[in-house]
Structure 1
Amino acid sequence: MLLTEHQEQYENRGRQPLKGRITPEELTMVRDSIMYPHMLTMCDKSLQEVRRTPNLLKQPLGEFIQIVMDKISREMFSLRRELRGRNIKVFDDETLDGIIYHRYSCRGYEDRFSIVREALRSEIGIRLAKYCADILHPSFKEARRPDPGSDS
């Protein structure tokens, strides 16, 4: 038998995170804060490679990669601001046996976040594909729009 105020606390106990404990949403934010610098590094390497090659499309490819990097940077800074607002700090740690470890502090609670390098690489590939699709999407719409003068 619970008192009314205790019943309400009991029902709400699963909805609010424990003091200092990180929520699944915040853990995703920590993962993203680790992932964004890796994404920028990969894009920068691609940009440098494109600039070195004697490719006819060097200029447009370079501009496209720069647009992707700008989008990643904006999201990274926005995410860092959000983490700071939630009093979450992420620290560089170590890489051991293909696993990347980072320490984080969340409202006084400290723990380590680990992610397998291949899982991070896969997530980066998915995210980069999404960014490219978001940037190119208006072009695809225009290219697929039927010609008003055609019979089909």
Structure 2
Amino acid sequence: MSKLNGNERWKTKMLMTEHVDEYERKEEEKTTGSKMLTNDEREMIRDLILLPHIDTMVSKSLKEIEHSGNVLKRAYLMAGQAIQRRIMQDTYRLQKELKLRNVRFIADEQDEFISYYKIFCRGYQERFGLTRDVMRTEISLRLTKYTAELGDSLKDHLK
């Protein structure tokens, strides 16, 4: 329970939600004593590593479509651009969240099958690796998700 709960004084104050979230997160860290990376943060880092690769793939695909003689070229381009906008939104959201959590990462080294990254998290350093197979699978799943979201929004718009 944080100090904000049950304290009548806070009900009359104007607080930004980011400040409340940050305060509660710091209180939670004090009680758990955890400065190590959480699974949620690992997933966020993985996603932030994969999103530029996905963006590159979509960009290459858009360039191929631009030079094609396809009748539906305009529709494909619009769909690809919508997916790219969503990728950028997710990238900015993840960067902001990791910055709030005081988590940074940099590329370390790349093996034949594994890409390694150094993660700096609240004073600790950790090494994180992604295999090419995992990256391919996650990219495929993420592209499928983006395409499905676009399809759902089009269905909702046409109703």
**Equivalents in 2 of 1:78, 1:139: separation in Å?**
23
Residues 122 and 18 (structure 1 numbering): CA distance in 2 closer, same or farther, change over 3 Å? same
After alignment, is 47-56 or 66-75 more displaced?
Answer: 47-56
**Equivalents in 1 of 2:54, 2:85: separation in Å?**
11
Structure 1 position 59 matched with structure 2 position 81: no
**Equivalents in 1 of 2:70, 2:89: separation in Å?**
29
Q: How far did residue 54 of structure 1 move?
A: 1.4
Structure 1 position 36 matched with structure 2 position 51: yes
| TM score, norm. by length of structure 2 | 0.75
| TM score, norm. by length of structure 1 | 0.78
Q: RMSD of the TM alignment (CA)? A: 2.0
Q: How far did residue 108 of structure 1 move?
A: 1.0
- Matching residue of 1:78: 93
Residue 117 of structure 2: which of 102, 107, 113 is its match?
102
Max Rg structure? 1
Give the paired residue count. Answer: 130
1:100 partner amino acid:
S
Q: How far did residue 142 of structure 1 move?
A: 7.7
Q: How far did residue 138 of structure 1 move?
A: 4.0
**Equivalents in 2 of 1:85, 1:104: separation in Å?**
15
**Equivalents in 2 of 1:17, 1:99: separation in Å?**
32
Q: How far did residue 18 of structure 1 move?
A: 2.3
Residues 40 and 46 (structure 1 numbering): CA distance in 2 closer, same or farther, change over 3 Å? same
- Trace 1:1-152 onto structure 2 (pairs within 5 A): 16=32, 18-19=34-35, 21-140=36-155
Structure 2 alignment gaps of length 5 or more? 1-27
